[in-house]
Amino acid sequence: MSDASRRSNLPPLALHVPEPKFRPGDAVDFADVTVPPVDAARRPDTSERADAFHDLAFGLVRVLDMDGTAGGQWNPRLSPDAMRRMLRNMALTRAFDERMFRAQRQGKTSFYMKSLGEEAVSIGAAAALADDDMCFPSYRQQGILLSRGCNLVDMMNQIYSNRGDKLMGRQLPIMYSEKDFGFFSISGNLTTQYPQAVGWAMASAAKGDTRIAATWCGEGSTAEGDFHSACTFASVYRAPVIFNVVNNQWAISSFSGFAGAEATTFAARAVGYGIAGLRIDGNDALAVYAATKWAAERARTNQGPTLIEHFTYRAEGHSTSDDPTQYRSAGEPNAWPLGDPIVRLRDHLIGLGEWDEARHAAMDKELSDQVKAAQKEAEKNGILGHGMHQPFDTMFEGVFEEMPPHLREQQAQMRAERASAGVTVGGNL
């Protein structure tokens, strides 16, 4: 009897195709999202072996409860001033996003990406890292630059690709690069920053430095090969790096199930590589701070890398090119059980008697005015509708330390062609 005959009584094989829970028009119910008490997760000593706390990759590290109180072993017990700085930086990020989103809708730039609902991921981490630690971001970590004091006009110049753009119009809007602020160039090729961060961290360790690296990607990008290569190298060499996976439930229009969320958590990827893994409430700025501080101490004391899954929600579309109403229920953002990161930290400070609604409203007005003034200053350098702003010659510069012969030849040919056409050689693109 053939093998096929012996299997004739079995049902045919079938593939499982993940389906999101809610589609446009559906009522939303996140009852299956488990939100454990704030004291449910223990805080291991940073010297503990990674295999001693696998449970933390499957739970949810929390500090702020939904009633505004803070508790549990992970409570960093920050001063009111430190928490107010974090609150202000989150509010500044939101004000910046709103102003630049509006600028794109007005045709002043081609593209923008908000971090609405995810501000705690960047702000909490920036507050916990040292200012000279190197960040390898994805495209929703503008809060790191804002926390580190990057000039708003410089950031807007890059978004407008205008005369003041230090990147000379060579990068897609929002793909900043700021060496002075330890902010590596953002790439549109997903997760290339992961092996780059590991390489930088390995170099720091090889030189006997004390600086560490931190990198971010979305949950969908964990399916990229670069993610797994980075985890392998970091595990083998115990690189001083923090891997941040921002699980905001959506990779453009694909829900997290396509990246493996139905099978296990994203923090669980750390278990297979033998590195520390934490799954945290990504809408809790204090939890983000505490987890990052803990991971940074592990890295700085040669305990190796940590993977942190930030369980959060992308409240806006993926970008200005995206319409989320076409693939998800409109009720999802408001129904997300972990709330809004700014509201949660605000309410905590109010509960402590260290903040109030009037001061919060005044802060929002001040930040809105600050961002508006920066926008006016940046637009003096030009916007998208004013045409291109960089001289033609610059297209050949900045790639090599010394321009190779073939590029010099092409540059000379371009100059000759433009001169014969009666166009000024130094003219703009």
Q: Classify residue 132 by burial, with Cβ atoms within 10 Å: 0-12, 13-18, 19+.
A: exposed
Contact 254, 324 (CB under 8 A): no
Instruction: Using DSSP bridges, classify how beta strands 134-136 and 306-311 pair: parallel, antiparallel or unpaired.
Output: unpaired
Mention every residue, 6+ apart, whose C-beta is less than 8 A from residue 245: 216, 217, 218, 219, 222, 266, 267, 269, 307, 308, 309, 310
Catalytic residue among 228, 327, 415, 418: 327
Q: Which residue has the tokens 């897609």?
A: 172
In this structure, what token pair is assigned to residue 413? 């040919």
The upper half-sphere exposure of residue 152, i.e. CA atoms within 13 Å in the direction of its Cβ, equals 20
What totals of helices (H) and strands (E) does the chain contain, helices first?
13, 7
Q: Classify residue 139 by burial, with Cβ atoms within 10 Å: 0-12, 13-18, 19+.
A: buried
Distance CA 411, CA 390 (A): 15
DSSP 8-state secondary structure symbol assigned to residue 335:
H
327 is catalytic: yes
Nearest Cα to 161, choosing from 399, 354, 390? 390
Find residue 246's DSSP bridge partners: 218, 310
Contact 286, 62 (CB under 8 A): no
Catalytic residue among 62, 94, 318, 344: 318
Catalytic residue among 269, 314, 328, 389: 314
Q: How many CB atoms lie within 10 A of CB 428?
A: 15
| Inter-axis angle of helices 119-128 and 285-300, nearest 10 | 40
Report, as residue numbers or ranges, the catalytic residues. Answer: 314, 318, 327
